[in-house]
Structure 1
Amino acid sequence: MADEIGVAGNRVRSFVERVEQLELEIAELNEGKKEVFAEAKGEGFDVKILREIIKLRKLDKDERDEQETLLDVYMRAMETAEPEDVAKAA
């Protein structure tokens, strides 16, 4: 029901409480993710590389191929650049 100012207080409370619950669940999931990365690191895996794999797996094949091609092009361009050109760019 709406109160004196025309706002349904119960409905507002419902939205706020649902968002708060979702925030708690997100925090728990993030903690779980942290634990998995800590376990992987403890077994000698490079967490930075694992994160990169996860990021790449989110891309579709065409996007991933395009990204790999651009990375290769840029790396080759840097390798052929004169050292003083690189210093000037920095």
Structure 2
Amino acid sequence: MKLHAATILVIFWLGVFTVHMVKGSAGSQPMRNLSCVSLSTKQLNIRNLINYEKQQVPVNAIMFITTKGIRICVSPNQKWVQVAMKKIDQKRTTKGK
């Protein structure tokens, strides 16, 4: 009877350890929640943009993040997009000083 209870206890702890290990390894890999699948053609107001992310899959795009938290995808080949990215980078470097 004691051997049976000990066996069940060992199996239980192995199960808990295995679940913990799987959860840890899966959770340690960052996953992007949002990605661009279509691109906006409108030029955005640069003053309303606070951040951006570069993306290459499924489409080559820049995802701008506005002051309200809205994410808008645009083509990185447009001149105004390059200017906006530089402005955001400049804001980052001046805040870091």
TM interval, short-chain normalised: 0.3 to 0.5
**TM-score using structure 2 length:** 0.32
Higher relative contact order (Cα pairs below 8 Å, separated by 6+ residues): 2
